Structure 1
Amino acid sequence: MQKSIGFCLILLGWIGFSSCGKESVTLEDGTLESYVNLQPGKYIIYQLDSLVKVPFNDTAFTTRSYQAKDLVDTLITDNLGRPSWRVFRYLRPLGSNDESAWEPSDTYYITPTRSDLEVVENNLRFQKLVYPIKESIYWFGNKHINTTPGGPLDFLDTWEYNYTEIGGSFAPFDVPVDSTITILQTDQGSGFADDYNPLDPDQPGYRIYSIEVYAKNIGLIYKHLLHFNYKARTLNGSNNPVPPYPDGNKDGGAITLRMISHN
Protein backbone atom coordinates (compact mmCIF):
# COMPACT_ATOMS: atom_id res chain seq x y z
CA MET A 1 0.00 0.00 0.00
CA GLN A 2 1.43 3.38 -0.99
CA LYS A 3 0.52 6.69 0.59
CA SER A 4 0.15 9.95 -1.34
CA ILE A 5 2.32 12.88 -0.36
CA GLY A 6 0.78 15.48 1.92
CA PHE A 7 3.77 15.52 4.22
CA CYS A 8 4.78 19.04 3.18
CA LEU A 9 1.74 20.40 5.03
CA ILE A 10 3.07 18.95 8.27
CA LEU A 11 6.69 19.82 7.52
CA LEU A 12 5.90 23.47 6.87
CA GLY A 13 4.44 23.72 10.33
CA TRP A 14 7.87 23.16 11.85
CA ILE A 15 10.17 24.56 8.98
CA GLY A 16 18.41 9.43 19.16
CA PHE A 17 15.55 8.05 20.87
CA SER A 18 16.52 6.96 24.43
CA SER A 19 14.52 6.33 27.55
CA CYS A 20 14.74 4.43 30.79
CA GLY A 21 12.68 3.55 33.79
CA LYS A 22 9.71 2.05 31.98
CA GLU A 23 6.76 1.73 34.32
CA SER A 24 3.51 0.03 33.43
CA VAL A 25 1.45 2.27 35.67
CA THR A 26 -1.41 4.71 35.52
CA LEU A 27 -0.67 8.31 36.49
CA GLU A 28 -3.36 9.34 38.94
CA ASP A 29 -1.63 12.41 40.38
CA GLY A 30 -2.38 14.95 37.69
CA THR A 31 -4.44 15.95 34.71
CA LEU A 32 -3.44 16.04 31.07
CA GLU A 33 -2.80 19.74 31.48
CA SER A 34 0.05 18.93 33.84
CA TYR A 35 2.00 17.72 30.78
CA VAL A 36 2.07 21.19 29.27
CA ASN A 37 2.87 24.56 30.86
CA LEU A 38 0.13 26.88 29.68
CA GLN A 39 0.97 30.24 31.18
CA PRO A 40 1.55 33.48 29.26
CA GLY A 41 5.26 33.95 28.59
CA LYS A 42 6.24 30.31 29.03
CA TYR A 43 8.41 28.98 26.24
CA ILE A 44 10.38 25.95 25.07
CA ILE A 45 13.41 26.23 22.76
CA TYR A 46 14.17 23.28 20.49
CA GLN A 47 16.65 22.12 17.93
CA LEU A 48 14.64 21.44 14.81
CA ASP A 49 16.16 19.16 12.17
CA SER A 50 14.19 19.00 8.96
CA LEU A 51 15.00 16.40 6.30
CA VAL A 52 13.86 17.73 2.93
CA LYS A 53 14.25 16.61 -0.64
CA VAL A 54 17.11 18.01 -2.73
CA PRO A 55 15.70 19.88 -5.78
CA PHE A 56 16.06 18.19 -9.16
CA ASN A 57 17.06 14.87 -7.58
CA ASP A 58 14.87 11.78 -7.49
CA THR A 59 16.08 10.27 -4.23
CA ALA A 60 18.48 12.65 -2.38
CA PHE A 61 17.56 14.48 0.85
CA THR A 62 19.35 17.09 2.95
CA THR A 63 19.03 18.22 6.58
CA ARG A 64 18.21 21.82 7.46
CA SER A 65 18.56 22.74 11.12
CA TYR A 66 17.18 25.65 13.14
CA GLN A 67 16.33 26.70 16.64
CA ALA A 68 12.59 26.83 17.23
CA LYS A 69 10.94 28.73 20.07
CA ASP A 70 7.33 28.02 21.06
CA LEU A 71 5.97 30.87 23.20
CA VAL A 72 2.63 30.70 25.00
CA ASP A 73 0.72 33.90 24.27
CA THR A 74 -2.78 34.09 25.72
CA LEU A 75 -6.04 32.28 26.36
CA ILE A 76 -8.64 32.60 23.60
CA THR A 77 -11.88 30.86 22.58
CA ASP A 78 -11.60 28.29 19.80
CA ASN A 79 -14.14 27.77 17.00
CA LEU A 80 -16.00 25.26 19.18
CA GLY A 81 -16.39 27.80 21.98
CA ARG A 82 -13.78 26.22 24.28
CA PRO A 83 -10.91 27.92 26.12
CA SER A 84 -7.75 27.45 24.05
CA TRP A 85 -4.19 28.68 24.35
CA ARG A 86 -2.51 30.46 21.45
CA VAL A 87 1.16 29.62 20.92
CA PHE A 88 3.55 31.55 18.68
CA ARG A 89 6.41 29.72 17.00
CA TYR A 90 9.66 31.46 16.01
CA LEU A 91 12.77 30.26 14.17
CA ARG A 92 16.38 31.41 14.17
CA PRO A 93 19.71 29.96 12.94
CA LEU A 94 21.01 26.95 14.83
CA GLY A 95 23.53 27.99 17.49
CA SER A 96 22.42 31.62 17.56
CA ASN A 97 22.16 33.49 20.87
CA ASP A 98 20.83 36.68 19.29
CA GLU A 99 17.36 37.41 20.66
CA SER A 100 16.70 39.77 17.74
CA ALA A 101 17.26 36.89 15.30
CA TRP A 102 13.93 35.19 16.05
CA GLU A 103 11.59 35.29 13.05
CA PRO A 104 7.84 34.49 13.28
CA SER A 105 7.06 31.13 11.70
CA ASP A 106 3.63 29.91 12.70
CA THR A 107 0.79 30.01 15.23
CA TYR A 108 -0.92 26.99 16.73
CA TYR A 109 -3.44 26.31 19.48
CA ILE A 110 -3.59 23.98 22.49
CA THR A 111 -6.97 23.05 23.96
CA PRO A 112 -6.94 21.05 27.21
CA THR A 113 -10.14 19.35 28.36
CA ARG A 114 -10.94 16.86 31.10
CA SER A 115 -10.66 13.96 28.66
CA ASP A 116 -8.06 15.00 26.08
CA LEU A 117 -5.50 17.54 24.94
CA GLU A 118 -5.94 18.83 21.39
CA VAL A 119 -3.50 20.76 19.23
CA VAL A 120 -4.50 22.62 16.06
CA GLU A 121 -1.69 23.21 13.55
CA ASN A 122 -2.22 24.40 9.97
CA ASN A 123 -5.97 23.96 10.53
CA LEU A 124 -5.43 20.28 11.40
CA ARG A 125 -6.80 19.15 14.77
CA PHE A 126 -4.80 16.42 16.52
CA GLN A 127 -5.86 14.65 19.71
CA LYS A 128 -2.40 14.45 21.27
CA LEU A 129 -3.20 13.06 24.75
CA VAL A 130 -6.19 11.32 26.30
CA TYR A 131 -7.13 10.43 29.85
CA PRO A 132 -6.45 8.13 31.64
CA ILE A 133 -2.73 7.87 31.01
CA LYS A 134 -1.92 4.19 30.98
CA GLU A 135 -0.32 1.80 28.53
CA SER A 136 -3.53 -0.06 27.71
CA ILE A 137 -5.10 3.07 26.20
CA TYR A 138 -5.28 3.41 22.41
CA TRP A 139 -6.98 6.16 20.40
CA PHE A 140 -7.24 7.52 16.87
CA GLY A 141 -5.51 10.86 17.36
CA ASN A 142 -6.10 12.04 13.78
CA LYS A 143 -9.82 11.30 13.71
CA HIS A 144 -10.74 14.97 13.16
CA ILE A 145 -8.63 15.18 9.98
CA ASN A 146 -9.91 14.44 6.49
CA THR A 147 -7.75 11.48 5.44
CA THR A 148 -9.73 10.47 2.35
CA PRO A 149 -7.77 7.85 0.36
CA GLY A 150 -5.94 9.52 -2.50
CA GLY A 151 -6.13 12.92 -0.81
CA PRO A 152 -3.14 14.99 0.31
CA LEU A 153 -3.45 13.85 3.95
CA ASP A 154 -4.20 10.17 3.45
CA PHE A 155 -0.87 9.25 5.06
CA LEU A 156 -2.39 10.40 8.38
CA ASP A 157 -5.12 7.77 8.14
CA THR A 158 -5.51 4.95 10.70
CA TRP A 159 -2.92 6.33 13.13
CA GLU A 160 -3.62 4.52 16.40
CA TYR A 161 -1.88 6.38 19.21
CA ASN A 162 -0.87 4.66 22.43
CA TYR A 163 1.21 5.33 25.53
CA THR A 164 4.40 3.25 25.48
CA GLU A 165 6.48 4.74 28.32
CA ILE A 166 4.97 6.27 31.45
CA GLY A 167 6.74 7.97 34.33
CA GLY A 168 10.32 7.33 33.24
CA SER A 169 13.07 9.69 32.10
CA PHE A 170 13.94 10.70 28.56
CA ALA A 171 17.01 12.49 27.18
CA PRO A 172 16.35 14.77 24.17
CA PHE A 173 20.12 15.39 24.22
CA ASP A 174 22.53 14.35 27.00
CA VAL A 175 20.56 15.38 30.12
CA PRO A 176 17.61 13.16 31.09
CA VAL A 177 14.27 14.77 31.85
CA ASP A 178 12.17 13.08 34.53
CA SER A 179 8.43 12.27 34.67
CA THR A 180 7.77 11.82 30.98
CA ILE A 181 5.18 10.05 28.87
CA THR A 182 5.89 8.66 25.39
CA ILE A 183 3.20 8.36 22.74
CA LEU A 184 3.78 6.15 19.72
CA GLN A 185 1.44 7.68 17.13
CA THR A 186 2.11 5.31 14.25
CA ASP A 187 4.64 2.75 13.02
CA GLN A 188 3.82 1.35 9.61
CA GLY A 189 5.47 0.61 6.31
CA SER A 190 6.24 -1.85 3.57
CA GLY A 191 9.20 -2.39 1.28
CA PHE A 192 11.71 -0.38 3.34
CA ALA A 193 14.93 -1.85 4.72
CA ASP A 194 14.98 0.75 7.53
CA ASP A 195 13.38 4.12 8.23
CA TYR A 196 14.94 5.80 5.20
CA ASN A 197 15.91 3.29 2.48
CA PRO A 198 13.81 1.08 0.22
CA LEU A 199 14.47 -2.63 0.49
CA ASP A 200 14.54 -3.21 -3.27
CA PRO A 201 14.90 -0.43 -5.88
CA ASP A 202 12.67 -2.46 -8.19
CA GLN A 203 9.78 -2.64 -5.69
CA PRO A 204 7.58 0.21 -4.37
CA GLY A 205 7.34 0.93 -0.67
CA TYR A 206 6.42 3.41 2.03
CA ARG A 207 7.44 4.17 5.62
CA ILE A 208 5.55 6.23 8.21
CA TYR A 209 6.64 6.66 11.83
CA SER A 210 5.75 9.24 14.47
CA ILE A 211 6.48 9.54 18.17
CA GLU A 212 6.19 12.33 20.77
CA VAL A 213 7.44 12.69 24.36
CA TYR A 214 5.95 15.04 26.96
CA ALA A 215 7.45 15.97 30.33
CA LYS A 216 5.44 16.93 33.36
CA ASN A 217 5.16 20.70 33.93
CA ILE A 218 7.14 21.35 30.73
CA GLY A 219 5.35 20.07 27.63
CA LEU A 220 6.59 18.50 24.41
CA ILE A 221 10.31 17.72 24.71
CA TYR A 222 10.82 15.40 21.73
CA LYS A 223 9.14 14.68 18.43
CA HIS A 224 10.21 12.48 15.52
CA LEU A 225 8.07 12.16 12.40
CA LEU A 226 9.01 10.65 9.07
CA HIS A 227 7.04 9.84 5.95
CA PHE A 228 8.52 8.42 2.74
CA ASN A 229 6.90 7.04 -0.38
CA TYR A 230 9.10 5.20 -2.88
CA LYS A 231 8.19 4.60 -6.53
CA ALA A 232 10.23 1.79 -8.04
CA ARG A 233 12.50 2.34 -10.99
CA THR A 234 11.38 1.04 -14.38
CA LEU A 235 13.39 -1.60 -16.24
CA ASN A 236 13.46 -2.17 -20.00
CA GLY A 237 13.57 -5.49 -21.85
CA SER A 238 17.31 -5.78 -21.13
CA ASN A 239 16.60 -5.35 -17.41
CA ASN A 240 18.26 -1.91 -17.38
CA PRO A 241 16.69 1.09 -15.61
CA VAL A 242 15.13 3.69 -17.89
CA PRO A 243 14.13 7.38 -17.45
CA PRO A 244 12.51 9.34 -15.98
CA TYR A 245 13.50 7.70 -12.67
CA PRO A 246 16.47 5.41 -13.29
CA ASP A 247 17.09 5.13 -9.53
CA GLY A 248 13.46 5.18 -8.47
CA ASN A 249 11.75 8.20 -6.95
CA LYS A 250 11.42 8.88 -3.21
CA ASP A 251 9.19 11.63 -1.80
CA GLY A 252 8.41 12.75 1.72
CA GLY A 253 10.60 14.03 4.54
CA ALA A 254 11.22 13.95 8.27
CA ILE A 255 11.39 16.27 11.26
CA THR A 256 13.09 15.79 14.62
CA LEU A 257 12.43 18.20 17.47
CA ARG A 258 14.56 18.09 20.65
CA MET A 259 14.18 20.44 23.60
CA ILE A 260 17.21 22.60 24.37
CA SER A 261 15.81 24.72 27.22
CA HIS A 262 12.63 26.11 28.75
CA ASN A 263 11.57 28.68 31.35
Structure 2
Amino acid sequence: MVRSSIFCLALLGVLACEEAPLAPLADPLEVYYPLELNQPTYFQVDSVILVRAVGGVRYDSSSTEARETLVETFVGGDGSTYYRGERWERRNESAPFQFKQTFTVHRDGSSLVRSEDNLTFTKLVSPLREGVNWDGNRGFDDSRQVFVGGELLDVYEGWNYRYLNTDTAVDLRTGLQVDSVVVVRQADVTDNLVEYRVAYEWYAPGIGLVERFVDARHSQCINTQSNCDELSWDEKADKGYIIRQTFLRRD
Protein backbone atom coordinates (compact mmCIF):
# COMPACT_ATOMS: atom_id res chain seq x y z
CA MET A 1 0.00 0.00 0.00
CA VAL A 2 1.43 3.40 -0.96
CA ARG A 3 1.35 5.94 1.82
CA SER A 4 0.66 9.62 1.25
CA SER A 5 1.10 12.89 3.14
CA ILE A 6 -0.64 16.22 2.91
CA PHE A 7 1.29 19.43 2.34
CA CYS A 8 -0.05 22.94 2.05
CA LEU A 9 1.12 26.06 0.17
CA ALA A 10 0.15 29.67 0.77
CA LEU A 11 -0.46 30.93 -2.76
CA LEU A 12 -1.91 34.45 -3.36
CA GLY A 13 -3.34 34.38 0.13
CA VAL A 14 -5.15 31.11 -0.50
CA LEU A 15 -4.24 27.98 1.42
CA ALA A 16 -3.90 25.15 -1.09
CA CYS A 17 -3.39 21.57 0.01
CA GLU A 18 -2.74 18.40 -1.91
CA GLU A 19 -1.51 14.89 -1.26
CA ALA A 20 2.05 13.86 -2.12
CA PRO A 21 2.89 10.17 -2.42
CA LEU A 22 5.57 8.75 -0.16
CA ALA A 23 7.88 5.87 -0.98
CA PRO A 24 6.55 2.53 0.31
CA LEU A 25 8.14 1.11 3.42
CA ALA A 26 11.06 -1.22 2.76
CA ASP A 27 10.28 -4.92 2.91
CA PRO A 28 12.03 -6.11 6.11
CA LEU A 29 12.75 -9.55 4.67
CA GLU A 30 14.60 -8.11 1.69
CA VAL A 31 16.38 -5.63 3.96
CA TYR A 32 17.84 -8.53 5.95
CA TYR A 33 18.23 -10.80 2.91
CA PRO A 34 18.89 -8.54 -0.11
CA LEU A 35 17.82 -10.09 -3.40
CA GLU A 36 20.32 -8.39 -5.70
CA LEU A 37 21.85 -9.84 -8.83
CA ASN A 38 25.60 -9.84 -9.44
CA GLN A 39 26.53 -8.66 -5.94
CA PRO A 40 29.07 -11.19 -4.60
CA THR A 41 29.23 -11.82 -0.86
CA TYR A 42 32.33 -13.39 0.67
CA PHE A 43 32.55 -15.56 3.78
CA GLN A 44 35.19 -17.24 5.88
CA VAL A 45 34.17 -20.85 6.48
CA ASP A 46 35.82 -22.96 9.18
CA SER A 47 34.68 -26.54 9.60
CA VAL A 48 35.52 -29.62 11.62
CA ILE A 49 34.39 -33.10 10.58
CA LEU A 50 34.70 -36.11 12.83
CA VAL A 51 36.12 -39.16 11.05
CA ARG A 52 36.48 -42.62 12.52
CA ALA A 53 40.11 -43.76 12.54
CA VAL A 54 42.17 -46.56 13.98
CA GLY A 55 42.30 -46.04 17.70
CA GLY A 56 39.53 -43.46 17.89
CA VAL A 57 38.06 -40.45 16.13
CA ARG A 58 40.00 -37.89 14.12
CA TYR A 59 38.95 -34.25 13.94
CA ASP A 60 39.57 -33.04 10.37
CA SER A 61 39.56 -29.25 10.22
CA SER A 62 39.59 -26.97 7.18
CA SER A 63 39.25 -23.29 6.35
CA THR A 64 37.99 -21.86 3.07
CA GLU A 65 36.78 -18.62 1.55
CA ALA A 66 33.35 -18.83 -0.04
CA ARG A 67 31.74 -16.48 -2.56
CA GLU A 68 27.98 -16.45 -3.12
CA THR A 69 26.29 -14.53 -5.93
CA LEU A 70 22.73 -14.38 -7.21
CA VAL A 71 23.26 -14.69 -10.96
CA GLU A 72 19.81 -14.85 -12.59
CA THR A 73 16.06 -15.00 -12.04
CA PHE A 74 13.38 -17.28 -13.42
CA VAL A 75 9.69 -17.88 -12.87
CA GLY A 76 8.90 -21.17 -11.17
CA GLY A 77 5.95 -23.46 -11.73
CA ASP A 78 4.15 -21.76 -8.86
CA GLY A 79 4.45 -18.35 -10.54
CA SER A 80 7.01 -17.06 -8.03
CA THR A 81 10.23 -15.33 -9.02
CA TYR A 82 13.25 -17.43 -8.10
CA TYR A 83 16.82 -16.20 -7.78
CA ARG A 84 19.47 -18.73 -8.78
CA GLY A 85 22.72 -18.37 -6.93
CA GLU A 86 26.16 -19.90 -7.23
CA ARG A 87 28.64 -20.72 -4.50
CA TRP A 88 32.36 -20.84 -5.24
CA GLU A 89 35.12 -21.71 -2.77
CA ARG A 90 38.91 -21.49 -2.50
CA ARG A 91 41.46 -22.62 0.09
CA ASN A 92 43.35 -19.34 0.33
CA GLU A 93 43.66 -15.92 -1.29
CA SER A 94 46.21 -17.08 -3.86
CA ALA A 95 44.12 -20.04 -5.05
CA PRO A 96 41.45 -19.78 -7.77
CA PHE A 97 37.79 -20.08 -6.84
CA GLN A 98 36.19 -23.41 -7.74
CA PHE A 99 32.50 -23.99 -8.29
CA LYS A 100 30.84 -25.67 -5.29
CA GLN A 101 27.08 -25.68 -5.78
CA THR A 102 24.02 -23.84 -7.00
CA PHE A 103 21.10 -22.73 -4.85
CA THR A 104 17.83 -20.82 -5.17
CA VAL A 105 16.15 -18.14 -3.08
CA HIS A 106 12.58 -16.93 -3.36
CA ARG A 107 9.77 -15.22 -1.51
CA ASP A 108 6.88 -17.42 -0.43
CA GLY A 109 4.31 -14.98 0.87
CA SER A 110 5.67 -13.69 4.18
CA SER A 111 8.66 -16.06 4.13
CA LEU A 112 12.14 -16.05 2.62
CA VAL A 113 13.06 -19.53 1.37
CA ARG A 114 16.41 -20.96 0.30
CA SER A 115 16.97 -24.37 -1.32
CA GLU A 116 20.32 -26.16 -1.57
CA ASP A 117 21.52 -29.78 -1.61
CA ASN A 118 17.92 -30.91 -2.21
CA LEU A 119 16.84 -29.32 1.09
CA THR A 120 14.51 -26.33 1.42
CA PHE A 121 14.86 -24.00 4.41
CA THR A 122 12.55 -21.17 5.46
CA LYS A 123 15.23 -18.75 6.60
CA LEU A 124 13.21 -15.70 7.65
CA VAL A 125 9.54 -14.89 8.20
CA SER A 126 7.46 -11.79 8.84
CA PRO A 127 7.00 -10.19 11.25
CA LEU A 128 10.62 -9.85 12.38
CA ARG A 129 9.74 -9.75 16.04
CA GLU A 130 11.42 -11.30 19.06
CA GLY A 131 9.73 -14.56 20.06
CA VAL A 132 8.19 -15.32 16.64
CA ASN A 133 8.82 -18.97 15.80
CA TRP A 134 8.30 -21.18 12.75
CA ASP A 135 9.12 -24.56 11.23
CA GLY A 136 12.11 -23.64 9.12
CA ASN A 137 12.62 -27.23 7.94
CA ARG A 138 9.05 -27.84 6.82
CA GLY A 139 10.24 -28.28 3.25
CA PHE A 140 11.68 -31.72 4.04
CA ASP A 141 11.50 -34.57 6.52
CA ASP A 142 13.74 -33.32 9.32
CA SER A 143 14.37 -36.87 10.50
CA ARG A 144 16.25 -37.66 7.30
CA GLN A 145 19.89 -38.45 7.87
CA VAL A 146 22.83 -36.97 6.01
CA PHE A 147 26.32 -38.35 5.43
CA VAL A 148 28.99 -36.59 7.46
CA GLY A 149 32.49 -38.02 7.63
CA GLY A 150 31.28 -41.35 6.28
CA GLU A 151 28.61 -41.61 8.99
CA LEU A 152 24.87 -41.01 8.98
CA LEU A 153 23.78 -38.10 11.14
CA ASP A 154 20.29 -36.78 11.96
CA VAL A 155 21.36 -33.14 11.95
CA TYR A 156 17.97 -31.42 11.56
CA GLU A 157 15.62 -33.37 13.78
CA GLY A 158 13.88 -31.26 16.41
CA TRP A 159 14.88 -27.84 15.08
CA ASN A 160 12.54 -24.98 16.04
CA TYR A 161 13.34 -21.62 14.47
CA ARG A 162 12.67 -18.42 16.40
CA TYR A 163 13.86 -14.83 16.69
CA LEU A 164 15.88 -14.41 19.87
CA ASN A 165 16.71 -10.79 19.16
CA THR A 166 15.91 -8.42 16.32
CA ASP A 167 18.30 -5.57 17.12
CA THR A 168 21.58 -6.44 18.80
CA ALA A 169 25.17 -5.37 18.15
CA VAL A 170 27.79 -8.05 17.51
CA ASP A 171 31.52 -8.30 16.89
CA LEU A 172 32.28 -10.87 14.23
CA ARG A 173 35.37 -13.03 14.66
CA THR A 174 36.72 -11.51 11.44
CA GLY A 175 36.96 -8.19 13.29
CA LEU A 176 33.93 -6.53 11.71
CA GLN A 177 31.52 -4.75 14.06
CA VAL A 178 27.84 -4.91 13.15
CA ASP A 179 25.52 -2.47 14.91
CA SER A 180 22.28 -4.38 14.45
CA VAL A 181 21.54 -8.02 13.64
CA VAL A 182 18.56 -10.32 13.73
CA VAL A 183 19.38 -13.48 15.69
CA VAL A 184 17.65 -16.64 14.43
CA ARG A 185 18.00 -19.58 16.81
CA GLN A 186 17.42 -22.64 14.64
CA ALA A 187 18.17 -25.38 17.15
CA ASP A 188 18.29 -24.93 20.91
CA VAL A 189 21.27 -26.27 22.79
CA THR A 190 20.82 -30.01 23.30
CA ASP A 191 23.39 -31.56 25.60
CA ASN A 192 22.80 -35.06 26.91
CA LEU A 193 24.63 -38.37 27.02
CA VAL A 194 24.17 -39.16 23.33
CA GLU A 195 23.99 -35.89 21.42
CA TYR A 196 25.07 -32.26 21.36
CA ARG A 197 23.43 -29.81 19.00
CA VAL A 198 23.08 -26.07 18.54
CA ALA A 199 22.45 -23.96 15.42
CA TYR A 200 21.89 -20.27 14.77
CA GLU A 201 22.20 -17.57 12.10
CA TRP A 202 22.68 -13.80 12.26
CA TYR A 203 21.37 -11.39 9.63
CA ALA A 204 22.33 -7.72 9.19
CA PRO A 205 20.36 -5.06 7.27
CA GLY A 206 21.68 -4.39 3.79
CA ILE A 207 24.04 -7.36 3.98
CA GLY A 208 22.10 -10.52 4.77
CA LEU A 209 23.75 -13.47 6.48
CA VAL A 210 26.76 -12.46 8.59
CA GLU A 211 27.17 -15.55 10.78
CA ARG A 212 26.08 -19.18 10.57
CA PHE A 213 26.98 -21.79 13.17
CA VAL A 214 26.09 -25.49 13.54
CA ASP A 215 27.54 -27.95 16.05
CA ALA A 216 25.98 -31.41 15.67
CA ARG A 217 27.77 -34.30 17.35
CA HIS A 218 26.73 -37.75 18.57
CA SER A 219 28.26 -40.24 20.96
CA GLN A 220 27.94 -43.94 21.73
CA CYS A 221 30.04 -43.53 24.84
CA ILE A 222 27.12 -44.57 27.04
CA ASN A 223 27.35 -48.05 25.52
CA THR A 224 31.08 -48.44 26.13
CA GLN A 225 32.05 -46.46 29.22
CA SER A 226 30.57 -45.76 32.63
CA ASN A 227 31.95 -42.22 33.07
CA CYS A 228 30.44 -40.61 29.97
CA ASP A 229 28.90 -37.73 31.91
CA GLU A 230 32.39 -36.76 33.07
CA LEU A 231 33.82 -36.49 29.54
CA SER A 232 33.71 -33.41 27.34
CA TRP A 233 32.19 -33.62 23.89
CA ASP A 234 35.63 -33.26 22.35
CA GLU A 235 36.52 -36.48 24.17
CA LYS A 236 33.40 -38.59 23.71
CA ALA A 237 31.94 -37.59 20.32
CA ASP A 238 32.29 -40.27 17.65
CA LYS A 239 30.57 -38.58 14.69
CA GLY A 240 29.34 -35.17 13.62
CA TYR A 241 30.60 -31.80 12.48
CA ILE A 242 31.05 -28.16 13.47
CA ILE A 243 30.80 -25.33 10.94
CA ARG A 244 31.07 -21.58 11.29
CA GLN A 245 30.51 -19.26 8.33
CA THR A 246 31.30 -15.57 8.87
CA PHE A 247 30.80 -12.55 6.62
CA LEU A 248 33.94 -10.98 5.17
CA ARG A 249 32.84 -8.39 2.60
CA ARG A 250 30.62 -7.56 -0.36
CA ASP A 251 31.83 -6.41 -3.76
Give the TM-score of the pair, scaled to structure 2. Answer: 0.76
- Match of 1:217, SS state, is coil
Choose from 211, 221, 235 the match for 2:210: 221
* Residue identity in the other structure for 1:70: E
Distance 2:135 2:75 in 1: 24
Q: Is the 8 A contact 1:31 1:114 kept in 2?
A: no
Question: Mapping of 1:17-96 within 5 angstroms?
Answer: 30-54=27-51, 56-57=53-54, 58-94=56-92, 96=93
1:205 and 2:194 are equivalent in the alignment: yes
Larger relative contact order (C-alpha < 8 A, sep ≥ 6)? Answer: 1
* Superposed displacement of residue 30, structure 1: 3.6
Counterpart of 2:127 in structure 1 is: 132
Question: Mapping of 1:167-206 within 5 angstroms?
Answer: 167-172=167-172, 173-191=174-192, 204-206=193-195
Q: How many residues align?
A: 212
Q: Is the 8 A contact 2:153 2:240 kept in 1?
A: no
- Match of 1:81, SS state, is coil
Distance 1:208 1:79 in 2: 36
Question: Mapping of 1:107-122 within 5 angstroms?
Answer: 107-122=102-117
* Residue identity in the other structure for 1:184: R
* Superposed displacement of residue 87, structure 1: 0.9
* Superposed displacement of residue 109, structure 1: 0.9
1:231 and 2:220 are equivalent in the alignment: yes
Counterpart of 1:10 in structure 2 is: none
Counterpart of 2:155 in structure 1 is: 155
Q: Is the 8 A contact 1:234 1:248 kept in 2?
A: no
| Identical counterparts, % of pairs | 23
Distance 1:47 1:133 in 2: 26
Unpaired runs of at least 5, structure 2: 1-24, 147-151, 228-234
- Match of 1:74, SS state, is strand
Question: Mapping of 1:90-105 within 5 angstroms?
Answer: 90-94=88-92, 96-97=93-94, 101-105=96-100
Q: Structure 1 stretch 171-180 or stretch 251-260: which is displaced more?
A: 171-180
Counterpart of 2:230 in structure 1 is: none
* Residue identity in the other structure for 1:213: W
Relative to structure 1, the CA distance from residue 187 to residue 59 in structure 2 (aligned partners, 3 Å threshold; closer, same or farther) is farther
Distance 1:190 1:55 in 2: 22
Distance 1:35 1:45 in 2: 16
CA deviations 1:135-157 (Å, max 9, x no partner) are: 12011111121134778674312
Distance 2:205 2:236 in 1: 44
- Match of 2:184, SS state, is strand
Indicate the RMSD between aligned Cα atoms, in angstroms.
Answer: 2.5
Counterpart of 2:250 in structure 1 is: 262
Larger radius of gyration: 2
Q: Structure 1 stretch 54-63 or stretch 173-182: which is displaced more?
A: 54-63
Q: Is the 8 A contact 1:168 1:179 kept in 2?
A: yes
* Residue identity in the other structure for 2:101: D
- Match of 1:158, SS state, is coil
Unpaired runs of at least 5, structure 1: 1-27, 192-203, 240-246
- Match of 1:34, SS state, is helix
CA deviations 1:69-105 (Å, max 9, x no partner) are: 00110112335432111110000113x155xx01000
* Residue identity in the other structure for 1:176: Q
- Match of 1:112, SS state, is strand
The structure whose residues are more often strand, as a share, is 2
Give the TM-score of the pair, scaled to structure 1. Answer: 0.73
Choose from 137, 144, 150 the match for 1:142: 137
Distance 1:110 1:150 in 2: 23
* Residue identity in the other structure for 1:93: R
Q: Is the 8 A contact 1:49 1:256 kept in 2?
A: yes
Relative to structure 1, the CA distance from residue 149 to residue 180 in structure 2 (aligned partners, 3 Å threshold; closer, same or farther) is closer
